[in-house]
Amino acid sequence: MNLDLDGRTALVTGSSQGIGAAIAEGLARSGARVGVNGRDAGRLQESVENLRAAVPEGDFVPVAADLGTEEGAARVVGELPDVDILVNNLGIFGAKPALEIEDDEWRRYFDINVLAGVRLTRAYLPGMMRRGWGRVLYIASDSAVVVPAEMIHYGMSKTALLAVGRGFAKEAAGSGVTVNSVIAGPTHTEGVEEFVYQLVDRDLPWDEAQRAFMRDHRPQSLLRRLIEPEEIANLVVYLSSDQASATTGAAVRVDGGYVDSILP
Ligand SMILES: NC(=O)c1ccc[n+]([C@@H]2O[C@H](COP(=O)([O-])OP(=O)(O)OC[C@H]3O[C@@H](n4cnc5c(N)ncnc54)[C@H](OP(=O)(O)O)[C@@H]3O)[C@@H](O)[C@H]2O)c1
């Protein structure tokens, strides 16, 4: 399959590291011009240099902005006014006992994980529909479906994204624009190795350590290892392509079989 994104402009939110950086790389490898985003301008610059080293022919546009704010969204839209592929990847997560999550924390999770994506969809969807082609994606999580007891505010925000994706797909019906969510599972991103070694024998080499972690702490996973960011990116690049033209309003899983359900 030739996933050719030549001539398309993409924006990947929260992409100066982790899954977002892998998605930015994957989209650029297929020919898209890619807006890369994060708040810390130094880290963003470093990330773009790494991306340029990985994809020398890639066209990367760094846009430093806090997308948890209206001003940040306005800056991004000002610098990248016509986006064909919007990947709402930005998302924060952290554990907190359910009864200790205060109103402000609930609002923060809603603002950053949900409203930031809604705002950018409102900004970019009309242009995509006018041009008759576009892709909007929301990076959700297994936590949208299997809500973890220690992070229900995160689970709430990811469940909300599934509703947002389904709803905007209806808004875009028949326009040539598809809107989908991606249910990503436990992924090998920065910081995860330290987290794993807090729970398993520190003397184990990484591959054995992650398998022990998955066996003992994530037994639902059928993959029995963490997902690599590139594996999430592969699905996102496909959903961003012409070839995925009949997939819309869906929640598509790349969760290593973590969610024990036949649908979605
Ligand atoms: N990691 C997993 O196992 C996993 C599993 C399922 C789903 N997911 C989802 O996948 C997505 C990416 O996760 P990740 O683990 O790759 O994230 P991550 O490693 O924590 O990276 C977060 C990125 O977002 C940027 N960022 C944070 N706050 C921002 C803001 N307000 N405005 C703009 N940029 C901001 C960060 O840069 P700055 O700090 O410089 O802003 C960084 O580039 C999230 O939606 C997450 O919920 C992750």
- Which CATH number does the domain housing residue 42 bear? 3.40.50.720
Within 10 angstroms of residue 146's Cβ, the number of other Cβ atoms is 16
18 and 54, same domain (yes or no): yes
204 and 161, same domain (yes or no): no
Residue 252 lies in a domain: no
- Mean pLDDT, residues 206-222 taken together: 95
Q: Which residues line ligand 1 (CB under 6 A)?
A: 14-20, 37-40, 43, 66-68, 89-91, 93, 112, 139, 141, 184, 186-187, 189-190
- Mean pLDDT, residues 236-255 taken together: 98
Residue 112 lies in a domain: yes
- Mean pLDDT, residues 55-67 taken together: 98
Ligand 1 nearest-atom number relative to CA 191:
19
To the question of pTM greater than 0.85 for the whole model, the response is: yes
pLDDT of residue 191: 82
Nearest CA to ligand 1 atom 37: 38
Ligand 1 nearest-atom number relative to CA 68:
31
The rounded distance, in Å, linking the Cα atoms of 109 and 151 is: 11
pLDDT of residue 195: 85
> Residue 132 C-alpha to ligand 1 middle, in angstroms?
30
Residue 263 lies in a domain: no
Domain around 198 = 188-226
220 and 124, same domain (yes or no): no
Residue 1 lies in a domain: no
104 and 138, same domain (yes or no): yes
| Tokens of residue 74, six digits | 């306005």
Residue 181 lies in a domain: yes
86 and 101, same domain (yes or no): yes
Determine phi and psi for 98, rounding to 5 degrees: -50, -40
- Mean pLDDT, residues 69-96 taken together: 97
Testing ligand 1's pocket by substitution, the residue of 145, 187, 210, 232 carrying the most ligand atoms inside 8 A of its CB is 187
C-alpha count within 13 angstroms, C-beta hemisphere, residue 143: 23
Testing ligand 1's pocket by substitution, the residue of 46, 137, 147, 189 carrying the most ligand atoms inside 8 A of its CB is 189
> Residue 130 C-alpha to ligand 1 middle, in angstroms?
30
Tell me: pLDDT of 52 over 90. Answer: yes
Greatest pairwise CA separation for the chain in angstroms: 57
> Residue 139 C-alpha to ligand 1 middle, in angstroms?
10
- Structural domain count, the chain: 2
Give the mean pLDDT of the chain.
97
